[in-house]
Structure 1
Amino acid sequence: MPSTAPDSASASDWSSRINPLIARYRSLVPSIGQEDAAMAMTAVDRMILAVEKARAAGSFTAASVAEDSILQAGRLLERVGGASHRDEP
């Protein structure tokens, strides 16, 4: 029977990919507005929870999809934040 516990390398990789993204979200708060940033962080929190639940259930494919979704959300938020910055006088 396959192991359902994530290996430490996978968890470390997860942290190294997600922690910088969270820092970028926080740095964009002044650019995109407090309300939009709060919604974005709530969405990320839910996606992180989905990753943790998928890993706990042994569904590493679902965890990978959720991780990629978080990264894509971060890229989108960066674009929105960049566009907001360009629109300022």
Structure 2
Amino acid sequence: MYAQNGGDLCSQINGLVCNGTEYFGNKNEVEGRCSRDVEMLRLIGQYLCDKGLNSAYAQLSKESGVSLEHDDATELRHATLEGRWND
């Protein structure tokens, strides 16, 4: 698959979170990406999760180091669902 600029799209992709399971890649890899790239990876990851392609999502997340949501948002959601109101 090729990106609009003629580059290989697969070589530009890298990582995310799915079905309550988080996958974390190398955070240093994420730091070098522009916000547009990170959002695109999150969008692709969301699509993969929605279609039930969890192993594809896990690999994307592992390689990119990008998760679908910020760590703080994940912790807040877990605390709320578990009734940990003081956290």
| TM-score normalised to structure 1 length | 0.41
Based on CA coordinates, which of the two structures has the bigger radius of gyration?
1
| TM-score normalised to structure 2 length | 0.42
